[in-house]
Amino acid sequence: MKKINRTLILVIAFFMVSCVSVKKFNDMQGKLGEEKNRLNQQLVDLTTRNTELNGLYERSLSQKKTISDELEQIKLEKEQLNQSKENIEREKANIESQYQALKKGTSSEIEGLLNELQKTRDDLNKREDKLRESEKVLQDRNSKLLELQEVLKQKEEAVKLLKQKVTDALMGFQNNGLSVFEKNGKVYVSLEERLLFKSGQWDVDPRGQQALKDLAAVLAQNKDINVMVEGHTDDVPMHGVNQVKDNWDLSVMRATAVTKVLLLNKQIDPVRIISAGRSEYLPLETDKTAESRQKNRRTEIILTPRLDEILKLLESN
C-alpha cells in the first residue's frame, strides 16, 4: 500500500512539473511571436526608407555626371552672348552714325529713312535688353551648378574622411573577420560571422561587441551619417525552433542584435539607423564551397552621408 501511494505521488508531481514547463514554453513562444511581428514590420518600414535614400543617392550621382557638360554649355552660351552684344554695339554705332548724318537733310525720302533707322535702333535696344536678361539667367544657373558641384565634392571628401576614421578606430580587428571599404559613395564595414556570432545564433560575442562599440564611438562624433545594418546568411537552409525558423529570421535577428549594441552609445539617435535582414539573397560569392559560404555569412554596416543639402539644390534646379 505504501508503495502504491509513493508511485501515485510521483505521477502527480510529474504532471504538475510538465504543466508548468508547457505554460512557460507557451508564454515564451507567444513573446517570440510578438517580437518577430514587430521586427518584420520594422523591416518593411525601414527597407522602404532605405530604397528612398538609395534613389536619392543615385539621383545625385546622375546630376553630378551632367554638371561638367552643363558648365561647358554655359561657357559656350556666354561666349555667344558676348559675341551678340559686340554685334549689337557695332550695329548701334553704325546706325547712330547714319542717323546723325541723315538728320542734316530735309527731304521726305530722308525723313522716311530716319524713321526706319529709328525703328531699327529701337529693335536693337530691345534685343540688347533680352540679352542682358539671358545673361543674368545664365549667371544664376552657372552659380547653382557650381554650388552643387562644391557640395558633391564636400560629400565625397566627407566619405573619404569617414572611411579613414572608421579604419583607424577598427585597426585592431582588420584581417580578423572585419574589413572597411568604400563603394558607391558609401562606407561599408563588413563583419564576418566568426567575429560576431556562433553558428545559428544571434547573440553578439564579446569580441564582436567591442568592435561595434569602437565603431559606435565614431558614429557618435559624426551625426550627419545615416547607418544601415544588414544581416546576411549563406544558402544552407536553417532548421530552427520556435520563432527563428529559417535564414530570413536569422538575418533579421542578427541585424537587430548588432543595432542594439550600437545603440548602447546614447549619443547615437536611433532615427539614424535602419536594421534589415537580407537572408541568403545578396551573396558575395556564388560558389557552393565552405569558404564561399563562410564569406557570405556576414553583417554589413553601411554608412551614408545625409543628402538633404543635395536634395534641396536638386529641387531648386
Query: Going residue by residue through the chain (317 aa), what tens digit of pLDDT does each one get?
Result: 444 455 555 555 555 545 446 666 666 667 767 777 776 776 676 667 667 666 666 776 676 677 777 777 777 777 777 777 777 777 777 777 766 666 665 566 666 777 777 787 788 788 878 878 887 877 877 777 777 777 778 778 888 888 899 999 888 887 788 999 999 889 999 999 999 999 888 999 999 999 999 999 999 998 888 999 999 999 999 876 677 889 999 999 999 999 999 999 999 999 999 999 999 999 999 999 999 999 999 999 999 887 655 555 555 55
How many domains does the chain contain in total? 2
Domain boundary among 105, 135, 157: 157
Task: Tell how far CA 188 is from the center of its chain.
Answer: 12
Residue pointed to by grid coordinates 580587428: 173
User: Can you state the percent helix, strand and coil of the chain, rounding each to 5?
Assistant: 70, 10, 20
Pick from 272, 210, 281: nearest CA to 251: 281
Pair 246, 112 in one domain: no
Q: What's the confidence (pLDDT) of residue 295?
A: 93
C-alpha cell at 222: 559624426
DSSP-assigned letter for residue 185:
T
Could you list the residue range(s) of the whole structural domain that residue 245 is in?
A: 164-316
Q: To 5 degrees, how large is the angle CA 149–CA 155–CA 156? A: 90
CATH of the domain at 201: 3.30.1330.60
Pair 232, 189 in one domain: yes
Domain boundary among 157, 192, 208: 157
Domain boundary among 157, 191, 211: 157
Pick from 293, 200, 210: nearest CA to 242: 200
DSSP-assigned letter for residue 307:
-
Q: What's the confidence (pLDDT) of residue 180?
A: 93
What's the Cα-to-Cα distance from 79 to each of 50, 71, 90, 124, rounded to whole Å?
44, 12, 17, 19
Q: Measured between alpha carbons, how far is 238 from 247 in angstroms, rounded to an integer?
A: 6
Pair 129, 168 in one domain: no
Q: What's the confidence (pLDDT) of residue 1?
A: 47
Pair 168, 148 in one domain: no
Pair 114, 173 in one domain: no
Whether residue 153 is contained in a domain is answered as: yes
Pair 306, 179 in one domain: yes
Pair 121, 184 in one domain: no
Pair 74, 132 in one domain: yes
